[in-house]
Amino acid sequence: MSNISTAQFKSKGAPLRRPTQEEAEEAVRTLIAWAGDDPNREGLKDTPRRVVEAFREYFRGYELDPVAMLREPTFEEVGGYDDLVMLRDIRVESHCEHHIAPFIGVAHVAYLPNGKVAGLSKLARVVEACSKRLQTQETLSAEIADAIDKALDPRGVAVMIEAEHQCMTMRGVHQPGVAAVTTRFLGAFSTDSALRDRFLMLANGSRRR
């Protein structure tokens, strides 16, 4: 696997210089020392490299374009189908931007086609691409819905995420098992309460007992 380049990249539209892998590893060594341990001892000597490689995996969403994922290919031969298309229980693995602590759960995603549909696996890939970034759960819900809306121009989009946040489980209030629930409704889902209720019923009905 190649090293992280020093090229410019964009975060929320602003160009930033991406540090080298060596600079990132040195930052990890500093944090280990700050925590009170010796970054040069045998068990920790290779930890900075492993942490940087893990960060590359955790945050690979910065290198992915969820809108492009959905746009190619799309299918227009749908036999006139214009009802709900929904995926439930898509795995969500993300990190809170406040503490860089994981939040893990599921997303339920639906849209109303407007003459074309995307491959079902593309919806799951969009959730994954948006998840692999630093953000709040509220932002993640909005970004998934906005990507689907922009790529497919559907008549409506609905997103619901249920996730447990380690910043609440392992620190702070120490409340394991508490799920945060966020929703985002666009188009018909924001104006038609019956349609919105149908989505929520299907989403809640997917809970594993």
- CB of 126 closer than 8 Å to CB of 146: no
Residue ranges per structural domain of the chain: 8-58, 78-204
- Contact between residue 152 and residue 70 where contact means Cβ atoms under 8 Å apart: yes
Render pLDDT for 150-169 as a digit per residue (tens, 0 to 9). Answer: 999 999 999 999 999 988 88
pLDDT digits (tens, 9 = 90+) for 89-124: 999 999 999 999 999 999 999 999 998 888 889 999
Give the chain's radius of gyration (CA, Å).
20
**Could you identify the residue written with the tokens 């692999």?**
132
Structural tokens at position 44? 């920790």
Distance, CA of 147 to CA of 40 (rounded, Å): 44
- Over pLDDT 70: what percentage of the chain? 89
135 φ, ψ to 5°? -175, 175
Q: What is the pTM of this model?
A: 0.86
CATH 1.10.3120 fits 8-58, yes or no: no
Predicted local confidence at residue 169, as pLDDT: 81
CATH number of 78-204: 3.30.1130.10
Same fold, 8-58 and 78-204: no
Residues of the chain with pLDDT under 70: 1-14, 76-79, 206-209
Q: Strand, coil or helix: what is 2?
A: coil
